[in-house]
Amino acid sequence: MLAALKTRLAERADTNVGLLAEFENPGALYDAVKALHSRGYRRLDTFSPFPIHGMDGAMGLGVSPLGFLAFVGGVTGLALGTWLQWWTSEVDYAINISNKPLFAWQSSVPIMFELTILFTALAVVGGMLAFNGLPQPYNPLFHSERFGRATDDGFFLHVGRADGRFSRTSTADELFALGATAVEYVDHDGATDVQPTTSASAHALAPAS
């Protein structure tokens, strides 16, 4: 089991090792992802300055499970709020006033509600960071100088080395054929430019429709 965990961690560290291709615009990126996904590539990721509408579908990703986490957070907050209100008035510091019931849910609603919201928000933000593996101080992609534009106006497609169909030359050719303007191979020790093979370069000049 320890070995399996080690393999998983090593795989995770290598997620962003592979070919990084730059595309001209979100449309070209979207088409390229769609094409690669239909050809069986699965370890794909795109990098863009803003979320691209429809990209989850093109990459074959479902709806984020964050909603469940939010629900768990909300239920936790509600339970905690209810317990706080009930326990303080019914058990810990019970004062009998005119023989009224010790615990009244009506006057407890605001605090129960606010705690529900607080815990939902914490679960959502914490869950988002956890699912995304943030904070992530090191990422091999930062070796690529070009990659700095991913947060400005660059549109990148990454094919992981771990992908079953990955090949450093033929995948790069495929990327060029799909309209990539530049392709780099990114590893832990740096990024190196990849040139198209001669047959592919002629192809790349033609518009990818």
Partner 1 sequence: MATVTSKTAYGAAPSGASAVASAVPPALPSYPDGSPLTLEDAPLVRGNLSFHDITELVAHHTEKKTPTGWFLAFGAALTGLGILGLAIAYLVWNGPGVWGLNNPVGWGWAIVNFVFWVGIGHAGTLISAILFLFRQKWRTSINRAAEAMTLFAVACALLFPTFHVGRVWLVYWLLPIPNQMWMWPNFKSPLDWDVFAVSIYGTVSLLFWYVGLIPDLATLRDRAVAQGRMLRAKIMAFFALGWTGSNRAWRHYERAYLLLAGISTPLVLSVHSVVSFDFAVSLIPGWHTTIFPPYFVAGAIFSGFAMVVTLMVVARRVFGLENLITIDHLEKMNIVILLTGTIVGFAYITEFFIAWYSGVEYEQYAFLNRMAGPYWWAYWSMMACNLIFPQIFWVKKFRRSIPVMFAISITTNIGMWFERFVITVTSLHRDFLPSSWDYYSPTIWDVLLFVGSFGLFFTLFLLFLRFVPMVAIAEVKGVLPQADPHFYHHHGDGHAGPHHVDFQQDAYVQAADESQTPADESSAAAH
CB of 2 to partner 1, least distance (A): 27
CB of 166 to partner 1, least distance (A): 17
Q: What are phi and psi of 182, to 5 degrees?
A: -160, 145
| Token output for 127 | 């869950």
Query: Which residue from 74, 73, 76, 96 is spatially nearest to 84, judged by alpha carbons?
Result: 76
Nearer to partner 1, 144 or 171 (CB): 144
Q: Measured in Å, how far apart are the chain's first and last C-alpha atoms?
A: 48
**What gap in Å lies between CA 145 and CA 18, rounded to an integer?**
15
CB of 100 to partner 1, least distance (A): 11
What is the number of other CB atoms lying within 10 angstroms of the CB of residue 147? 22
CB of 189 to partner 1, least distance (A): 19
Nearer to partner 1, 114 or 193 (CB): 114
Nearer to partner 1, 10 or 134 (CB): 134
Nearer to partner 1, 64 or 169 (CB): 64
Nearer to partner 1, 76 or 108 (CB): 108
CB of 152 to partner 1, least distance (A): 5
Query: Which residue from 63, 25, 60, 64 is spatially nearest to 39, judged by alpha carbons?
Result: 60
Please state the separation of Cα 200 from the chain's center in Å.
Answer: 32
CA torsion 123-124-126-131 (nearest 10°) is 120
Instruction: Give residue 9's identity as a one-letter amino acid code.
Output: L
